[in-house]
Amino acid sequence: MSDLHLESGGDDGPAVLFLHGSGASGAVWKPVLERLRESGTRYRWLVADLPGHGRSGHREDYSPEGYADAVSAALVGLLGENASLNVVGHSLGGLVGMTIADGTHGVTVESLAVIAMKVAWTEEELARRSALADRPIRILPEEKEARELFGRISGLRGPAFTDEDRAGGVTARDGGYALSADPGITRAAPATGPELAARMLKVTCPVELACGDHDPGIDPADMAEVLGHPVTVLPDAGHNVHIERPDLIADLVERALGR
C-alpha cells in the first residue's frame, strides 16, 4: 500500500496533477483550485503531498526518480495504468513533473507546466541547504505554534488558508509537536544545469515555463536557457506565484486544457 497522500476531486474532465515545492504540502494549491472552481472549469484535480512532506511517509530516496516513482505508483493505483493527465509543478514539484513526463512511469503526461524552478545554486546556498538535513528537530510545546511555523515555511498564511490546512504539515512528537517533513529531504544535492537539461529533453509533451517577476531566487533567462523553453514572467508575484497570484496559475491550467 502506498504511503503517499494523494487527494482527488472535481469533475469527469481531464485530470490535472498539482505538485508542490520543497518544504510545503499539497495544501498550497488551494487558492488555484478555488479560482478554477469559480471559473467553472471542468476537470479532475489531483493533489499530492510529496514523499517526506506533509501527510506522506518518509523515504530513503529523495532523488528525482525516487519522488517520481512514489507519485507515479499512487497515480497508477488511483487512475490505472497509462492514464492521461496534465501536470503542474512548482519548484521541486516541477522537477518531479519533468521526471514523470519521460514516458517511463506508467502514466501519459499530456502537458507540463513548470513554475519557478531554480536551475543554479551557489556554494553558500548548497552548504546551507545541506546543513538543514542534520539540524536537530525542533519540538514545540503547542500544536498551534507548530502550525504557525509550518505556515511561515510553506507559505500557508493569510485568509486563504485555515489551521486545518497547516495541520497537514505537523505531527505529534516527543511530548510536543514538530513539522512532519523529513529533514533528510535536503541531504541530496539539488538537480542543476546539465541534469535538468537532460531531463527536459526526455519530455515529449507540450511544456510551459513560468516564474514571478519578483522571485529573488529565479532568473527567467537562466531558467529558459537550461530548460530549453521560453519563460513567461508573471506580474506582481514572488516565488509562491500559486499563492500570491492564483488567477495567473489558473489561467495557465486553462490554457493547457485548451479552454
Return the beta strands (E) in the chain as ranges. 6-10, 15-19, 44-48, 83-90, 107-115, 170-173, 176-179, 207-212, 231-234
The confidence score (pLDDT) of residue 1 equals 41
Domain ranges (residues) in the chain: 6-119+185-256
Q: Which of 35, 38, 32, 46 is nearest to 87 (CA)?
A: 46
What values do phi and psi take at 26, rounded to 5? -60, -15
What is the CATH number assigned to the segment(s) 6-119+185-256? Answer: 3.40.50.1820
User: Could you count the other beta carbons within 10 Å of the beta carbon of residue 98?
Assistant: 26
HEC readout, 39-90 = HCCCCEEEEECCCCCCCCCCCCCCCHHHHHHHHHHHHHHHHCCCEEEEEEEE
pTM tops 0.95, yes or no: yes
The confidence score (pLDDT) of residue 2 equals 66
Cα gap 39→33, rounded to integer Å: 10
The confidence score (pLDDT) of residue 218 equals 96
Cα gap 201→229, rounded to integer Å: 11
- Taking the mean position of all CA atoms in its chain, how far away is CA 155? 12
Q: Which residue has the cell 495504468?
A: 81
Cα–Cα distance list, 189 to 29, 122, 131, 132, 232 (Å): 26, 12, 11, 12, 27
- Taking the mean position of all CA atoms in its chain, how far away is CA 234? 18
The confidence score (pLDDT) of residue 12 equals 86
Amino acid at 231: V
Contact between 184 and 132 under an 8 Å Cβ cutoff? The reply is no
pLDDT in 10s for each residue of the chain, 259 residues? 469 999 999 988 999 999 999 999 999 999 999 999 999 999 999 999 999 999 999 999 999 999 999 999 999 999 998 899 999 999 999 999 999 999 999 999 999 999 999 999 999 999 999 999 888 999 999 999 999 999 999 999 999 999 999 999 999 998 899 999 999 999 888 999 999 999 999 998 999 999 999 999 999 999 999 999 999 999 999 999 999 999 999 999 999 998 6
